[in-house]
Chains A and B, each alone.
Chain A
Amino acid sequence: MRGRWKAAAAITLSGMLAVSGCGGGDKKSNDDASKVEVFSWWTGPGEADGLAAMVADFKKNNPSTQFVNAAIAGGSGTQAQAVLASRLQNRKPPDSFQGHAGAELLDYIKAAQIEPLDSFYDQNDLRSVYPQQLLQQISHQGKIYSVPVNIHRSNMLWYSPAVLKEAGIGGPPATIAMFITDLKMVKERTKKIPLSLGAQWTADHLLENVLLGDLGTDAYNALWKPGADWSGPAVTKALTDFAEILKYTNTEAASTDWQGAAKDVVDGKAAFNIMGDWAYGYFIGGAPNGLGKKLDTDFKYAPAPGTDGTYMWLSDSFTLPKGAPHRAGALAWLKEASSKQGQDLFNPKKGSIPARTDADKALYTGYLQYAYNEWHKPGIKLAGSFWHGVNATKKQHTDIDTAVGLFLQSKDVAKFQAALSAAAKNSGQ
């Protein structure tokens, strides 16, 4: 309920801002730092607190700049992105907006709605403090267009130790083949859901994890390069496994979202769930937004099967729109978002880890300590999460979602693979 009110307030506020932005001809020169309007979808518990902490630090460092929070509620930013699209088309951009780092920004880049930030990276010596693989994966034609603030991990397996024990399974599966065996054991020996799944998009999330687990990091990353080949036998094998895994999911999947599916695991109704690491905050957080469960007794975690040693990442980042009314203010905000101080204030509250490599390790405890160590592990490989905007354009993203939706009904692997190949060809990348 409170969330709704907040959402309503946020929408009203941003509406007012849009109106005042139209009326007030306060378009001064580009080095205006009197104000900065930052557009995000961080309104939920945790993330809004993290944003507030970072904003407080920003105000301390930039006392003469007025900070305007133009956040719009809605998970994954679906609502916010619709509002943002209309603002950008009307050439009334905010000074900086949140976007998933990577290919999701490609539409904005092609429309010349955001500026490259290479000189910003050079001026602030940022190239050495972000992982090289990360900068490579967010570059488009050699240019960087966003400033990553945090890192989430997509390839996480959550499991119920009690259900695994009941099924006689020793530990989390290390490969996709072992995973399928375990699912079968849960189905045969217990009355529990082997793998809990939510609405259609959680099947997309599962797909990226099965692809990564079966193909390996390099082959997975190659799928997202221009002209990639999706028709090979390795992909067929992965999709066949995906079809097999789907047999062990709950019948009511489409009626729930990720929260419901994840909750089945900590409630002991399901053995496994594959979801990004934001599930952790949901599990351990207190009511009303969290479930108040305990790690090790109610649930445990492991990398998704076959993906140990790879960090399938996604990241929230900030951009510099072309024609930002307060460009200097925007640059000051980007500096805050890219700073060690800012990221260390934001991330512990949001439940993610900083994208920078020099963050303060002591601040990250529980699962976040594990995530931090994995991110910094020498030899860790990075793979981008397609569903969360890293390596698929919005067109390819939606087309894969459609293909998955049709596949959930038809279970026709050949057709599915053809649809995925077509989606890659039409991606416009």
Chain B
Amino acid sequence: MTAETSAPRRRRRTVRIRRALPGLLMLSPSIAAIGLFVYGLIFWNLRESVSGRHDEVSPFHFDKGRNYADLWHQSSWPPAVRHALLFTAVFVLGALLLGAFLAFLMDRGVRGEAGFRMIYLFPMAISFIASGVVWRWLMNPAPPERAVGLNQLFRKVHLGGLANDWWQDPHWGMAAMAVPAIWQMSGYVMALYLAGFRGVPEDLREAARVDGASEWKVYRYVVFPQLRPVTLSALIILGHISLKVFDLIMAIAGKQIITYVPAVATYVEVFDRHDPANGATIAGYLLFAVALLVVPYLVWTVRAERPR
């Protein structure tokens, strides 16, 4: 009896394996590569962060994660965190609002939309390193007699009051640092939102209009509520870019405390200070911060994609 039932079952299993095998074979190189180069290195980094190795010679000595607390006593770390948070807040909000606004204007219909779309998207094609060099000059805080860049421009058009210290302001400098990043990424956010706007069926808007909704109300109550997934994706994408920001800062300011952020700190700890444990600990914090954003998002998308 068992022989009778197990034979077809076995056959079914072979069929299933045969069907899955090519796919598995196709994927296995990337599974191996991701396993090694992503998860393997994450593990290695976490191991290094608890290694207690504050120079390159000491042997591994498990410190029970104490370094994650000790790091806060290092004078350069709290400012780095503060800078990253300020930068993230200004950059994410700025890029979201500007991107949504641009997309809104596009959606209202402008002549030569394709041209504008290109212009707004172009900055994204430039690397932060290249645009950083230009922004470094644009955001120079020299006094009137030596003014260059934006400050000079403001003075020439009699808006001298707008001239400011940009990123060299000791308190809010990192907000200015977000300006180039907003410039660079708002086009991308615009593209996301524009796709979102276009995805809202015309019937819905029509129905709202028939019910007597003003154009503003159509957007407020019909279109925008449908864009929540777009906003969330944009938030995640911008958020993780902003927490990891490195090249923009290095191009504009280099390794200076006034614009110190965690990614720069990692570099300085490992290559300048020769302190692998601190570098790995900061990288660990960065990973946690990004995971805090990404993991809920992944959970949410998996749930949303599951057939109802």
Which of A's residues lie within 8 Å of B, judged by CB? 78, 81-82, 85, 89, 107, 110-112, 191, 199-200, 250-252, 254-255, 257, 269, 394-395, 397-399, 401-406, 408-409, 419, 428
Asked if B140 contacts A252 (CB within 8 A), the reply is yes
Tell me the smallest distance from the CB of B149 to a CB of chain A, in Å. 9
Known contacts: A110-B57, A394-B273, A409-B170. The answer to whether A250 contacts B257 by CB under 8 A is no
Tell me the smallest distance from the CB of A25 to a CB of chain B, in Å. 25
Interface size in chain B (residues, C-beta < 8 A): 31
Asked if A403 contacts B57 (CB within 8 A), the reply is no
B143 on interface, CB distance cutoff 8 Å: yes
Asked if B272 contacts A398 (CB within 8 A), the reply is yes
Q: Which of B57, B75, B145, B275 contacts A402 (CB 8 A)?
A: B75
- Chain A residues within 8 Å of B94, by CB: none
- Chain A residues within 8 Å of B205, by CB: none
Tell me the smallest distance from the CB of B89 to a CB of chain A, in Å. 20
Bound CA–CA A394/B271 (angstroms): 9
Tell me the smallest distance from the CB of B45 to a CB of chain A, in Å. 16
Complex: chain A residue closest to B257, CB-CB: A405
Asked if B257 contacts A408 (CB within 8 A), the reply is yes
- Chain A residues within 8 Å of B256, by CB: 199-200, 254, 405
Bound CA–CA A402/B264 (angstroms): 13
Bound CA–CA A189/B146 (angstroms): 17
Q: Which of A252, A395, A409, A419 contacts B146 (CB 8 A)?
A: A252
Known contacts: A81-B271, A394-B274. The answer to whether A402 contacts B55 by CB under 8 A is no
B260 on interface, CB distance cutoff 8 Å: yes
Q: Which of B75, B76, B142, B258 contacts A408 (CB 8 A)?
A: B258
Asked if B142 contacts A89 (CB within 8 A), the reply is no
Q: Which of A107, A112, A409 contacts B257 (CB 8 A)?
A: A409
Q: Which of A85, A89, A409, A428 contacts B258 (CB 8 A)?
A: A409
- Chain B residues within 8 Å of A397, by CB: 272
Tell me how many residue pairs across A and B have CB atoms closer than 8 Å: 86
Bound CA–CA A31/B272 (angstroms): 34
Tell me the smallest distance from the CB of B102 to a CB of chain A, in Å. 30
Asked if B57 contacts A85 (CB within 8 A), the reply is no
- In B133-168, which residues have CB < 8 Å from any A CB? 136-137, 139-143, 145-146, 165, 168
Asked if A269 contacts B146 (CB within 8 A), the reply is yes
- Chain A residues within 8 Å of B76, by CB: 402, 405-406
B79 on interface, CB distance cutoff 8 Å: yes
- Chain B residues within 8 Å of A85, by CB: 56, 271, 274
- Chain A residues within 8 Å of B275, by CB: 395
Tell me the smallest distance from the CB of A248 to a CB of chain B, in Å. 13
- Chain B residues within 8 Å of A402, by CB: 75-76, 257
B286 on interface, CB distance cutoff 8 Å: no
Q: Which of A111, A254, A405 contacts B56 (CB 8 A)?
A: A111
Give 1 or 0 for each of B259-272: 1 = CB within 8 Å of chain A CB. Answer: 01000000010011
B93 on interface, CB distance cutoff 8 Å: no
- Chain B residues within 8 Å of A191, by CB: 145
B253 on interface, CB distance cutoff 8 Å: yes
What would 24 A/B residue contacts be, using CB atoms closer than 8 Å? A85-B274, A111-B55, A111-B56, A111-B57, A112-B57, A199-B256, A200-B257, A251-B141, A251-B143, A254-B258, A255-B136, A255-B142, A255-B253, A394-B274, A395-B55, A397-B272, A398-B268, A405-B76, A405-B258, A406-B75, A406-B76, A409-B170, A409-B258, A428-B55
Which of B's residues lie within 8 Å of A, judged by CB? 55-57, 75-76, 79, 136-137, 139-143, 145-146, 165, 168, 170, 253-258, 260, 268, 271-275
- Chain A residues within 8 Å of B56, by CB: 85, 89, 107, 111
- Chain B residues within 8 Å of A394, by CB: 272-274
Q: Which of A111, A254, A406 contacts B253 (CB 8 A)?
A: A254
Bound CA–CA A372/B165 (angstroms): 43
Asked if A199 contacts B141 (CB within 8 A), the reply is no
Q: Would you list the 9 A-B pairs with minimal beta carbon distance, nearest first? A: A405-B257, A252-B142, A200-B256, A398-B273, A409-B170, A82-B271, A402-B76, A111-B57, A398-B272
Complex: chain B residue closest to A406, CB-CB: B257
- Chain A residues within 8 Å of B79, by CB: 406
Known: A107-B55, A199-B253, A395-B273. 7 other contacts (CB 8 A): A111-B56, A200-B256, A250-B142, A255-B253, A395-B275, A402-B257, A409-B258
Complex: chain A residue closest to B272, CB-CB: A398
- Chain B residues within 8 Å of A257, by CB: 254
- Chain A residues within 8 Å of B271, by CB: 78, 81-82, 85
Bound CA–CA A85/B274 (angstroms): 9
Tell me the smallest distance from the CB of A346 to a CB of chain B, in Å. 27
Complex: chain A residue closest to B74, CB-CB: A402
- Chain A residues within 8 Å of B254, by CB: 199-200, 257
Tell me the smallest distance from the CB of A152 to a CB of chain B, in Å. 21
Bound CA–CA A254/B142 (angstroms): 10
Bound CA–CA A399/B75 (angstroms): 9
Complex: chain A residue closest to B260, CB-CB: A405
- Chain A residues within 8 Å of B258, by CB: 200, 254, 405, 408-409
Tell me the smallest distance from the CB of B176 to a CB of chain A, in Å. 12
Tell me the smallest distance from the CB of B290 to a CB of chain A, in Å. 24
- Chain A residues within 8 Å of B57, by CB: 110-112
Asked if B75 contacts A403 (CB within 8 A), the reply is yes
- Chain A residues within 8 Å of B143, by CB: 251
Asked if A255 contacts B168 (CB within 8 A), the reply is yes
Tell me the smallest distance from the CB of A45 to a CB of chain B, in Å. 21
- Chain A residues within 8 Å of B165, by CB: 251
Bound CA–CA A401/B79 (angstroms): 15
